[in-house]
Amino acid sequence: MSKKSSPRFRFVFAAALLVLLALLVPALREGDQRLYLLAAGVTGAMLLCMIIPARLFSLDRLILSIALYLGAVGIISLATSNPDAALMQLLRCSAGVVALIIGAMVIRIISPSMLTAGISSFLGLLLLAGSLLVRDLPFPFTEAALILMVISFSSLLSCYGGAAALLPGIIGTVLLLLQGMTVEASVLALTVLLLLWAADGKIGLVLAALAVFAAIFFGAAYFGYLPAFIPGEEHALSLSTLVSSGLFGSETVTDLQNSALPASSLVYLLSENYGLVFTGLTLFLYLPLILRGTSVAGSARTRFHAVLALGCVLIFSLRIPAGLLAAFGVLPLPLNPLPLLTDSLPDLAAQMLTLGLLCGISSVNETNLAEDAHLAMLAK
């Protein structure tokens, strides 16, 4: 009698097979050694990461597997046209995995306290103010700053209540608006408001916070810090690029994407090489990732972990509709790369760190549940 395979095994096997085939097919064209190396390296690294670090650091397998697969999809999108860039992306993804493990370990160290809130607020605001002062900064640290702001908010909320937690969020939003980062500012403001509503539950405070954020955005519009929301050439180009290869991709290999589109976004290359169906189905994998994140937040025992997990999910997921709506030209927002489908190392590392925090909270939840089972056994 054959034993039915588990969904985890099926997912890992299918993901590894898809990545292997997707890297082997372009390698067959010219027999490029780098692509063969990538095929073996990426598949092996994926399988190893899904087994060894997941077991060593008690990482959440579902979050880890989807994160690794989306990272591999980024490599695949580059491998067809530029194997050197794909090798570089592999190194970036490796750094991202290290960031994920660090995130999972950090969650076991930090606790809600004034020290945690102070350090994370200071670092987050420093990164935002630094990028405001130095405009030509080669590495954008906005994503990392947002995560630090969420850690600070969670710590303050669980220690001192909602009113105290609002202050860093408001300052962070103002700093982001001063740089013209409307999407990031909106994501931070929405995250703070939703967390305040979910965790504190005081409707008066939520309404007051809503009024403050509305005043900040109206002030930014009044003083000319908000960009004009007019559909530009890049929005039309973005839509045409996404649908140019049809449903199942074109026969010709696209080498470089248009310079009007954001260089760090890999979704255009993916769509041009593999078609709209493959890209759409890949992007749908964000859904189980977000659902798993909310499940982790709902299972957390402490308020700090629950708020932090929900904050990580919101910071991660609110960028997806904003990016997709802008890419399809529905909303005239700035074109930003989607999470994990970017070749910007700071962004990728920060997003992996976010998922690492979720993995760490999931691990803490499992430990707590095991303790409960032990107590139940003793009580019996």
Partner 1 sequence: MFSVSPEIYKVITQTSRYLFAFFALMLLLFALSWLYDERRKRRERLRYLPEAGNIGEMVVIAGSEQLPVDTWFPIPREGILGSLRSCDLVVPCPGVHARHLAFSWQDGTGLIIKPFPGCETFVDGVSLITAEKSEMPVMVHGSCLQVGSAVLRLQLLSALEHTNRPFTVTAPEPFLPFTDPPAQEYRPDQPNPMNQPLIGNPADGLSQQESQSAFDSVVVSVIPEEHLPVQQTAPRRKRADRWKEDFSE
- Interface residue list for partner 1 (CB under 8 A): 6-8, 10-11, 14-15, 17-18, 21-22, 25, 27-33, 36, 62, 65-66, 69, 158, 201, 248-249, 251, 274-275, 277-278, 281-282, 284-285, 287-288, 291-292, 295, 299, 301-303, 368-377, 379-380
Residue among 11 and 231 whose Cβ is closer to partner 1: 11
Q: In angstroms, give the least distance from the CB of 250 to partner 1.
A: 9
Residue among 65 and 121 whose Cβ is closer to partner 1: 65
Q: In angstroms, give the least distance from the CB of 200 to partner 1.
A: 10
Q: In angstroms, give the least distance from the CB of 175 to partner 1.
A: 31
The token pair that represents 56 in the structure block: 């060593």
- The string of DSSP letters for 86-147 reads HHHHHHHHHHHHHHHHHHHHHHHH--SSHHHHHHHHHHHHHHHHHHHH-TT-SS--HHHHHH
Q: In angstroms, give the least distance from the CB of 249 to partner 1.
A: 5
Element (H, E) at 340: none
Which candidate, 119, 128, 126, 213, places its Cα nearest to that of 166?
A: 213
The CA angle 296-302-308, to the nearest 5 degrees, is 55
Residue among 8 and 126 whose Cβ is closer to partner 1: 8
The token pair that represents 205 in the structure block: 């405070």
260 HSE (CA, 13 A, CB side): 11
The token pair that represents 120 in the structure block: 């994370």
Q: In angstroms, give the least distance from the CB of 274 to partner 1.
A: 6
Q: In angstroms, give the least distance from the CB of 166 to partner 1.
A: 18
Residue with tokens 């993995």: 359
Residue among 236 and 277 whose Cβ is closer to partner 1: 277
Alpha helices in 223-344 (DSSP H): 233-243, 267-283, 286-299, 303-317, 319-327
Q: Are 341 and 270 in contact (CB under 8 A)?
A: yes
Residue among 22 and 145 whose Cβ is closer to partner 1: 22
Residue among 282 and 344 whose Cβ is closer to partner 1: 282
Q: Which residues pair with 342 in a beta bridge?
A: 265
Q: In angstroms, give the least distance from the CB of 303 to partner 1.
A: 5
Count H helices and E strands in the chain, helices first. Answer: 15, 0
Residue among 84 and 214 whose Cβ is closer to partner 1: 84
